[in-house]
Amino acid sequence: MPFVRIDLSNNHPDGFAQIVGDTVYEVMRTCINVPEDDKFQVITEHDSGDLVFPLSYLGIRYTADIIFIQVTLNIGRTTEMKKLFYKAVCDSLVKKLQVRPQDIIINLVEVQKENWSFGNGEMQYAPSE
């Protein structure tokens, strides 16, 4: 069950943020084995001053159109799957929305399955005892 947070500027046209969210979900389904209907996202559009980032880092220059994508998911994806995911998200957003690939920041946070509750105050994926 990935939980996705997307933070971006509110300077984009209507529907832009939704396309970003839909694209991330589509790529998660194809690249990192996320099941159908496993779409939990919080998409937040910010005033430009609320997104803090350097002008450049690791030789990559950023603009005010930066998009932060953070995915919390269960441990278990290979390095190759993660590389494929990063590239596919970037390529898809560039193609669909003509964003700069340099402005797409992706962070994966891996957790054990018992760190989720899907409701009712229960640990649905509790370790077997």
Structural domain spans, the chain:
3-115
**Mean pLDDT score, 13-27:** 97
Burial grade of 116 (CB within 10 A; 0-12, 13-18, 19 or more): middle
Phi first, then psi: what are they for 106, rounded to 5°? Answer: -125, 135
51-68 per-position pLDDT tens digit: 999 999 999 999 999 999
Residue 129 clears pLDDT 80, i.e. is over it: no
Tokens describing residue 122 = 């229960």
Domain 3-115, classified CATH 3.30.43.10, yes or no:
no
Give the pTM. Answer: 0.93
What pLDDT does residue 127 have? 81
Q: Annotated active-site positions, please?
A: 2
79-126 per-position pLDDT tens digit: 999 999 999 999 999 999 999 999 999 999 999 888 888 899 888 888
